[in-house]
A and B are shown apart, each in its own frame.
Chain A
């Protein structure tokens, strides 16, 4: 695969394209999303915010980003 080739992902249930070689941290940054108190799940595996820089997204990944909202 070429370095600049795009990849396809499913992020929070939606189909997304992004450039290859992007980490979870970079994906969030490109989306303008602060990573504080966020947690991710990639293909069912939990990834903590502190490890977002280590995980490089791959084509076909199913990604969930979750955070806290109001609840009882």
Chain B
């Protein structure tokens, strides 16, 4: 049976979402989309630059990808709502990644404002995917507000620091019924793989791929890691022993060494 991820009524076969920020050259994006196998791609809304009319990100995004605009730049719920409505009016569908951030140093999301924006937009028919701190109570608020998934950060945006919030994400995976999509901070494929092994439904990676020396190869590596992590999760990882304990992988009985020690060698040879 194929392992599908149903999100917002859409069946996805790839569990890696990618971003479009920070590429030295946006023309790399189609190759990264292809190498990573991603089916969902994020983008941001900004004022048109009249000094640079030719620049068009959209022209670099392959048609088969589902667009996931974000509300980056919003500091309050109302600003996120405004950006979401503009994005939908621009004709990219009704998926929206809520980002409400007023802390410019750590770029940590504001849980209260995020939940407020989620509630308004879910009622307007958006498929709302809120970027959030992996806090159980915020996650519960987002469930009640009508989110389609929760997107906890692994580490601060753009930091490539990996699953710094591992324990907190583990709690969300245990307690929250919505899909958990780990977003932000994943800098290496092994970190995305670990998130998937833990039971995350998907990962979103932008900087980890875009800032690599070879984004196309790194996209392929992240794609493989997310698939491997998902496969391991479905396979059911074995138990973890407490610190200091061990359990031999080979049988204890019938050891040749023990056999020799018991004087077996004397009866083994010719008399």
Contact = CB atoms under 8 A, between A and B. Distances in A.
A56 interface: no
Interface string B77-97: 000001001110111100000
The residue in A13, A48, A70 that gathers the most chain B C-beta atoms within 10 A of its C-beta is: A70
Kindly list the 3 A-B residue pairs having the minimum CB-CB distance in the complex, ordered from nearest: A71-B44, A72-B206, A72-B19
The residue in A12, A36, A39, A71 that gathers the most chain B C-beta atoms within 10 A of its C-beta is: A71
A71 B58 contact: no
Interface string A2-46: 000000000011000000000000000001111011110100001
B42 to A, nearest CB: 6
Contacts of A47: 89
A61 interface: no
Give the size category of A's interface with B. Answer: 20 to 34
Given A66-B86, A70-B21, A34 B46 contact: no
Contacts, number: 103
A69 B57 contact: yes
B123 to A, nearest CB: 17
B159 to A, nearest CB: 12
A34 B56 CA distance: 9
5 contacts: A37-B56, A37-B58, A38-B48, A66-B45, A72-B21
A13 B49 CA distance: 12
Given A13-B47, A31-B50, A37 B90 contact: yes
Contacts of B120: none
Contacts of A69: 20, 43-46, 57
A68 B53 contact: no
Contacts of B199: none
Nearest to A64: B47
B45 A67 contact: yes
A47 B86 CA distance: 9
A68 B50 contact: no
B108 to A, nearest CB: 15
B207 A72 contact: yes
